Structure 1
Amino acid sequence: MSAAALSLPVDALGAYLRGKGLADADALSVSVLAGGQSNPTFRIDAGKNRQYVLRKKPPGTLVASAHAIDREFRVMKALAGSGVPVPRMLDYCEDDSLIGTPFYVMEFLQGRVFMDQGLPGMDQAERLAIYREMNRVIATLHAVDYKAAGLQDYGREGNYVARQIARWTRQCRESTLPVNDAMHKLMDWLPGHLPEGDETTLVHGDYRLDNLIFHPTEARVIGVLDWELSTLGHPLADLSYQCMGWRIPHDLWRGIGGLDLADLGIPSEEQYVKWYGEATGRDAAGHWDFYIAYNLFRMAAILHGIAQRAAEGNASADDAVETGRKAGPLADLGWEAAQRYMASR
Structure 2
Amino acid sequence: MSDANKFGGTGPVREAHKFDATALNRWMEQHVPEFAGPLKVEQFKGGQSNPTYRLITPNHEYVLRRKPPGTLLKGAHAVEREARIMKALRQTGFPVPTIYAECDDASVIGSEFFIMELVKGRIFWSATFEGVDNEHRHLYMEEMNTVLARLHKVDFISLGLRDYGREGGFVSRTIARWAAQYQKDSADAGSEQAMDLVILWLKENLPERDETSIIHGDFRVDNLIFHPEEPRVLAVLDWELSTLGDPIADFSYNAMMYRLPSDILGGIAEFDLKALGLPNENEYVAHYCIDTRRTDIPNFDYYVVFNMFKFAAILHGVKARAVRGNAASAEAATVGNRFVKVAQLAWAAAQRSPSTRK
Q: Same fold (TM over 0.5)?
A: yes
* 1:179–1:52 Cα change, 3 Å: farther
Q: Identify the range of structure 1 (223-232 vs 335-344) with the bigger mean alpha-carbon deviation.
A: 335-344
- Give the match for residue 27 of structure 1: 38
Q: Give matches, 1:209-224, under 5 Å.
A: 209-224=221-236
In the alignment, is the contact (CA less than 8 A) between 1:10 and 1:28 conserved in 2? yes
Amino acid at match of 1:27: P
CA–CA distance in structure 2, aligned partners of residues 180 and 58 of structure 1? 32
Q: Which has the higher contact order (CA 8 A, sep 6+)?
A: 1
2:180 is aligned with 1:167 = no
- Describe the superposition over 1:244-291 as per-residue Cα deviations: whole angstroms up to 9, x where unpaired: 100001244410011000000111111000001111122454301110
Amino acid at match of 1:67: H
3-state DSSP of counterpart to 1:27: coil
CA–CA distance in structure 2, aligned partners of residues 134 and 150 of structure 1? 26
- Describe the superposition over 1:103-148 as per-residue Cα deviations: whole angstroms up to 9, x where unpaired: 1111100111111222222211221110010111011101100001
- Give the match for residue 72 of structure 1: 82
Candidates 274, 287, 291, aligned match of 1:275: 287
* 1:225–1:29 Cα change, 3 Å: same
- Describe the superposition over 1:313-344 as per-residue Cα deviations: whole angstroms up to 9, x where unpaired: 352x5544433332221121111111112686
Contiguous gaps of at least 5 residues in structure 2: 1-10
Alpha-carbon deviation of 1:23? Answer: 7.1
Amino acid at match of 2:80: D
Q: Identify the range of structure 1 (11-20 vs 22-31) with the bigger mean alpha-carbon deviation.
A: 22-31
CA–CA distance in structure 2, aligned partners of residues 61 and 177 of structure 1? 24
Q: Give matches, 1:237-276, under 5 Å.
A: 237-276=249-288
- Describe the superposition over 1:46-77 as per-residue Cα deviations: whole angstroms up to 9, x where unpaired: 3312x111111223444443322111111001
In the alignment, is the contact (CA less than 8 A) between 2:224 and 2:236 conserved in 1? yes
2:343 is aligned with 1:335 = no
- Give the match for residue 313 of structure 1: 326
Q: Identify the range of structure 1 (81-90 vs 140-149) with the bigger mean alpha-carbon deviation.
A: 81-90
In the alignment, is the contact (CA less than 8 A) between 2:256 and 2:304 conserved in 1? yes
3-state DSSP of counterpart to 1:131: helix
- Describe the superposition over 1:294-319 as per-residue Cα deviations: whole angstroms up to 9, x where unpaired: 0011112223334445555352x554
In the alignment, is the contact (CA less than 8 A) between 2:213 and 2:244 conserved in 1? yes
- Give the match for residue 129 of structure 1: 139
- Give the match for residue 324 of structure 1: 336
2:237 is aligned with 1:203 = no
In the alignment, is the contact (CA less than 8 A) between 2:205 and 2:356 conserved in 1? no
- Describe the superposition over 1:9-66 as per-residue Cα deviations: whole angstroms up to 9, x where unpaired: 22222221122135755332111223444211111113312x1111112234444433
3-state DSSP of counterpart to 1:250: coil
In the alignment, is the contact (CA less than 8 A) between 1:303 and 1:327 conserved in 2? yes
2:311 is aligned with 1:292 = no
- Give the match for residue 114 of structure 1: 124
2:205 is aligned with 1:193 = yes
* 1:287–1:43 Cα change, 3 Å: same
Q: Identify the range of structure 1 (274-283 vs 95-104) with the bigger mean alpha-carbon deviation.
A: 95-104
- Give the match for residue 6 of structure 2: none
Length-normalised TM-score, structure 1: 0.92
CA–CA distance in structure 2, aligned partners of residues 318 and 17 of structure 1? 34
CA–CA distance in structure 2, aligned partners of residues 334 and 36 of structure 1? 25
Candidates 104, 107, 112, aligned match of 1:94: 104
3-state DSSP of counterpart to 1:213: strand
CA–CA distance in structure 2, aligned partners of residues 332 and 61 of structure 1? 35
2:94 is aligned with 1:81 = no
Q: Identify the range of structure 1 (283-292 vs 223-232) with the bigger mean alpha-carbon deviation.
A: 283-292
CA–CA distance in structure 2, aligned partners of residues 283 and 329 of structure 1? 33
The Cα RMSD (Å) is: 2.2
- Give the match for residue 16 of structure 1: 27
- Describe the superposition over 1:182-213 as per-residue Cα deviations: whole angstroms up to 9, x where unpaired: 22222232122111111111111111100111
3-state DSSP of counterpart to 2:189: coil
3-state DSSP of counterpart to 2:90: coil
Amino acid at match of 1:4: R
* 1:159–1:322 Cα change, 3 Å: same
Length-normalised TM-score, structure 2: 0.89
Alpha-carbon deviation of 1:99? Answer: 2.1
Alpha-carbon deviation of 1:224? Answer: 0.6
* 1:69–1:328 Cα change, 3 Å: farther
- Give the match for residue 52 of structure 2: 41
Contiguous gaps of at least 5 residues in structure 1: none
Percent identity of the aligned residues? Answer: 45
In the alignment, is the contact (CA less than 8 A) between 1:202 and 1:230 conserved in 2? yes
In the alignment, is the contact (CA less than 8 A) between 2:82 and 2:239 conserved in 1? yes
Q: How many residues align?
A: 343
Candidates 150, 155, 162, aligned match of 1:140: 150
3-state DSSP of counterpart to 2:101: strand
CA–CA distance in structure 2, aligned partners of residues 65 and 204 of structure 1? 17
* 1:74–1:53 Cα change, 3 Å: same
